[in-house]
Amino acid sequence: MKIEKFEDIKAWQKAREFVKEIYILTNKETFSKDFGLKDQVRRASVSIMANIAEGFDSQSDQEFIKYLGYSRRSATEILSHLYVALDQKYITKQKF
């Protein structure tokens, strides 16, 4: 199957599902009140989707790969933020 638009990319589809989960998770009672952390986690999750889309529209494979790297770094950022959420008991180990 030829990918003709960014919405066809499996990684973008998975990132979209992930964003939905992040929004659900950060809407929970205690997490939702930590405005700074909530905002950071949400912005980083949206960044994953956005960078895949933006990279797809780039002029070269090298440029696309660069944007995929940005997406990966955003995912790492989220992981770090989720450790904070876990330590603050905003989320359970299972949700983590």
Q: What is the pLDDT of residues 23-82, one digit of tens each?
A: 999 999 899 999 999 999 999 999 999 999 999 998 899 999 999 999 999 999 999 999
Predicted confidence band of residue 2 (pLDDT cuts 50, 70, 90): confident
Among the four given CATH numbers 1.10.1200.10, 3.30.1490.20, 1.20.1440.60, 1.10.3720.10, the one describing domain 10-87: 1.20.1440.60
Phi-psi region of 5 (alpha: psi -120 to 50; beta: other; left: phi over 0): beta
CA distances from 52 to 17, 60, 64, 75 (A): 14, 13, 8, 12
Cβ pair 52, 79 in contact under 8 A:
no
**Phi, psi for 27 (deg, rounded to 5):** -90, -10
Residue 96 pLDDT exceeds 80 = yes
**pLDDT at 1 (0 to 100):** 74
Per-residue model confidence (pLDDT) at position 45? 98
pTM: predicted TM-score of the whole model, two decimal places:
0.91
Please state the separation of Cα 39 from the chain's center in Å: 12
